[in-house]
Chain A
């Protein structure tokens, strides 16, 4: 296990971690605008402004503020129950902010009508933790269902698009299979295929590699990178998986006590002065990044 990790897991993000990265190393990360200042600049795809969210007396998000530029891959990390999933659910309007603003594609999500929210959602792909494949449909049917509803493609056009997308995730022979007949890694990849079949400009990944073996983690992570590099898709990923974060992150936000306590490259976040964050990464990882930084 350690031998397998030594090659890719421990490769520092600040070196050549992201071939084709859309965010040049050293370039300052943009700040979010204040609440009430209108749409963000055109190059900002997603922006959270002082976002608050509570469930009963549980205060989950307490002023989350961040901007995500176009075409980059952002990773959100943090311990369990810190509100990572809650944060990304605001992007697609599955949750509404108690206070603050969420801007996606230049639109304030909470102010959209149902129809406008549906239109915005078509520009966003969302890969759920479990894949969330529809149990009653085959792989082909679930992708066809999405295309039939949202495109004018005829049956041949839809078939071409589905096969092209399945080829892309390297699972072209699964068309007739039901979700229950797929492995965990295949379900994630089919979930990814279904999410991108409408060719969105934003992808949101909720723990895309949880429960997968290291080989599958690399396969899924490489697909996420290809989406960014080949299609220019802006991505926002929640993960606990350091191998995945290492492979895909241009920028990392670390969520602690309802706010983003740290942000930067993975190496910068791993070397945080905050003990909870250092504990999350573990001594081995933190030391490795420190050694790389110091040129040891």
Chain B
């Protein structure tokens, strides 16, 4: 009983609360400023290339590995129950509904989150953000909004890409091991998917993209000190993004099940 007030009044607790409040205000600024000029389309395009195009290989390898391994691991178990035929359905459902979106987002949180945290953090400590500020160049619009928009757009695209490669990996495994015809495999796989599966479960990665970009931008934008602190900001960007993605996934799944519950 006595420890509760001590926790509430500890400087670390108060500082953590203040940081959460600061982050809330930082995210609130996005919704306030998003609608107002300047609109940095060129920079959004550059960030989409940075976040998206440069992550295509990484997400392809991730998707392929997941698809192949999932097929390999599941085949034996399904065979024991004589249910090998449902392998394409199971692969499609698990890839599209959960494993694809979450794995892709976690991998992107590592690559993109660290990049954003380190880049914006180093701009802060080298006074480039102050230079944008005193030049009336609206650094929040230029650095933060552009990255958030790029991540919100590119995360779902990369997820669809990773899902497709994952399914292809699963098919390759099935073809090599079971000589399954591609028409049978993909017809069975797509037959199991419904429109809400694809939209909701792929669409949730837009939320994950928002989380990664906003958390990483915030940690970079508010960094104080030198290169050591920039490194810490990059590391915290990844760790915090991953944790928040997992928490957000639970919430989104719970909400989507409530809204689109299977009959």
A150 touches B127 (CB 8 A): no
Given A132-B126, A135-B123, A149-B38, A126:B136 Cβ within 8 A: no
Spot the interface stretch: A116-124, A154-162, A221-229.
A116-124
Q: How far is the CB of A291 from chain B (nearest CB, A)?
A: 40
B133 touches A150 (CB 8 A): no
Given A135-B123, A149-B38, A126:B128 Cβ within 8 A: no
Could you give, for residues 110-130 of chain B, a 1 whenever the CB lies within 8 Å of some chain A CB and a 0 otherwise?
000000000000110011101
Within A108-167, the residues touching B (CB, 8 Å) are 118-119, 121-122, 124, 126, 128-130, 132-135, 145-146, 149-150
B contacts, CB < 8 Å to A: 38, 122-123, 126-128, 130-138
Query: 10 more A-B contacts (CB under 8 A) besides A94-B130, A118-B136, A133-B128?
Result: A119-B136, A121-B136, A124-B134, A126-B134, A128-B130, A130-B126, A132-B128, A133-B131, A145-B137, A194-B135
Q: How far is the CB of B107 from chain A (nearest CB, A)?
A: 24
Q: Considering only CB atoms, which chain A residue lies closest to B46 in the complex?
A: A136
Q: Considering only CB atoms, which chain B residue lies closest to A204 in the complex?
A: B134
What would be 12 A-B contacts, judged by CB atoms less than 8 Å apart? A92-B133, A92-B134, A94-B134, A119-B136, A121-B134, A121-B136, A122-B136, A128-B127, A128-B130, A132-B131, A133-B128, A134-B123
Q: How far is the CB of B40 from chain A (nearest CB, A)?
A: 10
The bracket for how many chain A residues form the interface is 20 to 34
| Cross-chain contact of B127 among A121, A124, A129, A146 (Cβ < 8 A) | A129
B134 touches A146 (CB 8 A): no
CB neighbours of B138 from chain A (8 A)? 118
A contacts, CB < 8 Å to B: 92, 94, 118-119, 121-122, 124, 126, 128-130, 132-135, 145-146, 149-150, 194
Q: How far is the CB of B212 from chain A (nearest CB, A)?
A: 20
Q: How far is the CB of B220 from chain A (nearest CB, A)?
A: 14
CB neighbours of A145 from chain B (8 A)? 137
A149–B135 Cα distance when bound, in Å, is 10
CB neighbours of B123 from chain A (8 A)? 134-135
CB neighbours of B134 from chain A (8 A)? 92, 94, 121, 124, 126
Q: Considering only CB atoms, which chain B residue lies closest to A127 in the complex?
A: B131
A129–B128 Cα distance when bound, in Å, is 11
A149 touches B137 (CB 8 A): yes
B136 touches A128 (CB 8 A): no
CB neighbours of B131 from chain A (8 A)? 126, 128, 132-134
A146 touches B135 (CB 8 A): yes
